[in-house]
Structure 1
Amino acid sequence: MSVTERVYSALVRRTLETEDQMTAESRSNLAPNGLRLVLANSLQSSGDQVVNASTILPWLFAALGVPPALTGVLVPIRESGSMLPQAFLTPLVLRVRYRKWVFVTGAIVQAAAVAVMAATAALSEGMIAGLLIVAALAIFALGRCLCSISSKDVQGRTIPKGERGQLNGLATTAAGLVAITLGLAIRWFGSNDLPAEELFWLLVLGVVLWVGVAVVYIGIREPADEIAPQPVDTADETQSGQTTNWFTQMITLLRDDKPFRNFVTVRSLLLVSSLSPPFIVTLSVHSGASSLTGLGGFIIASGLAALIGGRLFGRFADRSSKKLMSIGAGVASAIIIVTVILTALPAFTADSWLGNLLFVIAYFAVTLMHTGVRIGRKTYIVDMARGDQRTVYVAVSNSVLGIVLLIVGGLSSLLALINIIWALLFLAVMGLIGVVAGSRLPEVSQG
């Protein structure tokens, strides 16, 4: 047994029955491919922490004197921009035999976009700096879009069922370690008020990380006996043989493919764990708590959740990814409801030790549950589809989620204008409905 095989076997609980179903070529490349995927995804997740639209970029905007109005568009552009174009780009991706090259292209695009952000941080300020960074973030989201479309397909081609969730978990754990290290460094060297010069070097680190992602991914060996690339004309051929455009194909898929439609519906309802953490932070600040303030503190909390959740939920996802999604959302909803009730009690004081501890625990716990939901839904969609169907599923579901994010994000923001508690309760109720809907999904994981 080679060193690579020993390392892979030490990190992953292998499922020999599904490995035996792979071709000889795929089995021989399994261990090196698996380790490369873990490393590439770890670097990618670490890069996401460095270019985080919820923490790093708002701090950069404040340091550069960018008008606060522009800060509000960062998260929508980052999230929706990486999802909405996926159904449109899928026909182009299907032309590429080896999907790793689509991922490599996306990683290079993201590295270039972060380089523009770094240059802007060093050379500009005010409204001009804000507009340049927003434009670069839109390009960054497009690169992430390419990576998202192709990564699930590459993993499905190279890694068997029963091991995919563990790889996702390992990458999340490694990224958590990086995030904790980064957060501690910021707290130690930069306190809570980083100047633009220090954020510039942070963005340079992001460029290095994304270049590293591309370099590692080039070494992945996809099997040569996969389905041949599909030709793309001005219109695409649907499964029913009718010629139609990409938008109509997306609607047709959602209408006719009930299992896929149910998955997209459940995923839309499980946004509670991804959208609620910023509201918890805002509630803590408005209530007078101070423990969660500071850029380093946010990054440490997120990193700790990823560190614990990555390893904990990876194997859970391989046993039952649908249960992991439902449990994660259900626990997150329960945490939010309990937090709202406690903060509404007359005796509650946010500036007390117990008050600060409540917000710290709530933020960490919801972020931890989001790690589980994220690993679960990634594993589920890879396990439920095969071949090019997987690429189409990922693209269409992400495009739909891009639209849903804008709608749900807008509704929760409007409710937050009335009271932050209403926004949190709205998301918690959505999550509980998602738990019920998720229990009805078919089991697709190895079990």
Structure 2
Amino acid sequence: MTEPSPKTTTSNRSILDLSDHNYRMAMINGWLASLGDAFFNGSIVLASFAAKLGAPNTIVGLLPALLGAGSMVPQVFVAPYVARLSRKIELYRRVAWLRAGSLWVVVVATFVLGQHPHLLLPVFILGLAANGLFSGISSLPFWEAIGKTVPMERRAGLFSARNLVGGVLGFLTGFVVRFILGLPLPFPHTYAIIFALGAIAYGYCWYFFGLIKEPPEEGKTDRISLRLPFRDFYFRRFLRVRVLLAVGGMVEPFYAAFAVRQLHQSGEIGLYLTIFTLSSVLANLLWVQVSRRYGSKTLMLVGAALGTLTPVLALLLPPGDYWGVFVLQGAYLAAIGVSTSTYLLNLAPDNNRSSYIGLSNTIVGLLSFSPVLGGFLADRIGYVGPMLLASVCYGWALYAGRRLRDLEAIYASRSQP
């Protein structure tokens, strides 16, 4: 049975107190990552790009899955190696160069192969797949560095503030994307400019996190047990909820594809991105308070509830009101992102953090290819099928999540004198 260790005292410091170097680097990293995420937004930018290329819905679902799932799947395989490292940040710095190179392959291909979509699409897919793989290798060092340098009581605030300020940047990026897509340039040069800006943002994002001063520790020489997390009853409960949320994510890229292909709203993609990111910003103002006051479990349940509602509304709203879908999508993805990351980091014991995080993220990463299933269903039975199935999965996660343990409440009670 895993319990959080009360090794630090509760802090009332502001979530935007950047006086600590490591906290500041992690925060700046998050802001720039949000900026890159906006330019490479899988649910809106990549989905609309693939749709305009004429790709089938299966490929539309594959592109964002390559970024999300690809960054998770390798983690369990690199966990033993990472556990042996005295300073995990060194691996993060080395892999950052490979991540940047894979994105610039995507940028150059989009500029050069615009007149050859039959070549552009496979090169684009391979570039994103390589970036996802390299991200998966560096992801575990990222979480280890956060776990070693950011106290438990500041983690939820860190992730919320990363999303909050990053969301403001993403909101402004929506206007930039809309402006670029309106330029009198041939397709796909406008998208190539967008991807280039995203690659620059990601490059600086990885550079700043690499400046974190991680304290050395004695690396593990014995083999880490990947079966150990499964012996933890509370980890198994969390994993069940996380898996359901990942499968529910099959619908995420198809809100934009539905708007382009069914509602003929391709000119509103920039507006939808702006609304999506503005929703994330405003929601995080609320989510940080919910997480601090009620804990990451409650926030996870809120995200699942909103995720249950959104696919149904997407099928019911008229074209003029379809922007409401992206209001809800921005809100529930922000809630799920903050709550699941914080909950897992708090659940994992310090001496087995790599195995907990690596195993969880690899399993969830494999299931994050669910948008491919969503695309398969959309191609054969229309968008109603994946949207309703996603709603059921989110609803199931909401039901299962009620039995999760409230880790922050336990930690707070143990910190009382």
SS of 1:176's equivalent in the other structure is helix
Residue 101 of structure 1 deviates from its aligned partner by 2.2
Q: TM-score, normalised by structure 2?
A: 0.84
**Cα contact 2:110–2:191 (8 A) shared by 1:** yes
- TM-score normalized by the length of structure 1: 0.78
The residue number in structure 2 matching 1:118 is 107
CA contact (8 A) 2:47 2:257 kept: no
Deviations 1:171-206 (A, max 9, x none): 112222222222212323532886333333333323
Does structure 1 conserve the Cα–Cα contact (< 8 Å) formed by 2:80 and 2:224?
no
| Number of residue pairs the alignment of both structures matches | 393
Equivalent position of 1:306 in the other structure: 280
1:377 to partner: Cα distance: 0.4
Deviations 1:262-287 (A, max 9, x none): 11111111237643343334445565
- 2:75–2:362: 8 Å Cα contact kept in structure 1? yes
For the pair 1:330 / 2:305, whether they are aligned, the reply is yes
Q: Look up the match of 1:97.
A: 86
Partner of 1:207: 199
Q: Which stretch of structure 1 is more off in the superposition, 330-339 or 112-121?
A: 330-339
Structure 1 portions without partners, runs of 5+:
1-14, 21-28, 239-248, 344-349
Deviations 1:332-369 (CA, angstroms, capped at 9, x unpaired): 213444554x45xxxxxx35xxxx22x21123113211
Higher relative contact order (CA 8 A, sep 6+): 2
**Are the aligned partners of 1:183 and 1:297 in contact in 2 as well (CA < 8 Å)?**
yes
Q: Which runs of 5+ in 2 are unaligned?
A: 1-6, 13-17, 413-417
What is the CA deviation profile of residues 211-247 of structure 1, one whole-angstrom value per residue up to 9, with x for unaligned ones?
A: 21232123212234x4x11237xxx343xxxxxxxxx
Question: In the alignment, what sits opposite 2:236?
Answer: 261
Query: Structure 2 vs 1, CA of residues 315 and 31 (structure 1 numbering), >3 Å: closer, same or farther?
Result: farther
Residue 327 (structure 1) shift: 1.5
Q: 1:70 to 1:410 in 2, by over 3 A?
A: closer
Structure possessing the higher radius of gyration over alpha carbons: 1
Query: 2:229–2:355: 8 Å Cα contact kept in structure 1?
Result: no
* Equivalent residue, structure 2, for 1:165: 156
Alignment of 1:62-81 (within 5 A): 71-81=60-70
The 8 Å contact of residues 36 and 219 in structure 1, kept in 2 or not, is answered as yes
Q: CA deviation at 1:82?
A: 1.6
Contact 1:277–1:367 (CA under 8 A) maintained in structure 2: no
**Residue 123 (structure 2) pairs with residue 132 (structure 1):** yes
* C-alpha RMSD over aligned residues: 3.0
TM-superposed CA distance for 1:388, in Å, is 4.3
67-76 or 378-387, which deviates more: 67-76
Partner of 2:415: none
**For residues 123 and 288 of structure 1, do their structure 2 counterparts lie closer, same or farther at Cα, with a shift above 3 Å needed?**
closer
Match of 2:221 among 199, 219, 231: 231
**Matches of residues 32-431 of structure 1 in structure 2 within 5 Å?**
32-58=21-47, 60=49, 71-125=60-114, 126=116, 127-191=118-182, 195-224=187-216, 226=217, 228-231=218-221, 236-238=223-225, 249=226, 252-253=227-228, 255-271=230-246, 274-284=249-259, 288=263, 290=265, 293-319=267-293, 320-337=295-312, 340=315, 342=316, 350-351=318-319, 356-357=320-321, 359-406=322-369, 408-416=370-378, 417-431=380-394
Structure 1 pair 88/178, CA: closer, same or farther in 2 (3 Å)? same
Q: 1:58, CA displacement in angstroms?
A: 4.8
Partner amino acid, structure 2, of 1:131: P
Deviation (angstroms), 1:430: 1.5
| CA gap 1:421/1:129 in 2 versus in 1, 3 angstroms | closer
Q: Percent identity of the aligned residues?
A: 22
Classify 1:338/1:210 alpha carbon distance in 2 versus 1 (closer, same or farther; 3 Å): closer
CA drift of 1:34 comes to: 1.1
Q: Structure 1's 284 and 223: CA in aligned 2 closer, same or farther, altered over 3 A?
A: same
* Matched residue type, 2:337: R
Q: For residue 81 of structure 1, give the secondary structure of its aligned residue in structure 2.
A: coil
Alpha carbons of 1:121 and 1:66: their partners in 2 closer, same or farther (altered >3 Å)? farther
1:438–1:202 distance in 2 versus 1, CA, 3 Å: same
Give the residue type in structure 2 aligned to 1:40. N
Judge conservation of contact 1:283–1:420 (CA < 8 Å) in 2. yes
What SS does structure 2 have at the residue aligned with 1:440? coil
* CA distance 1:376–1:339, change in 2 (3 Å): same
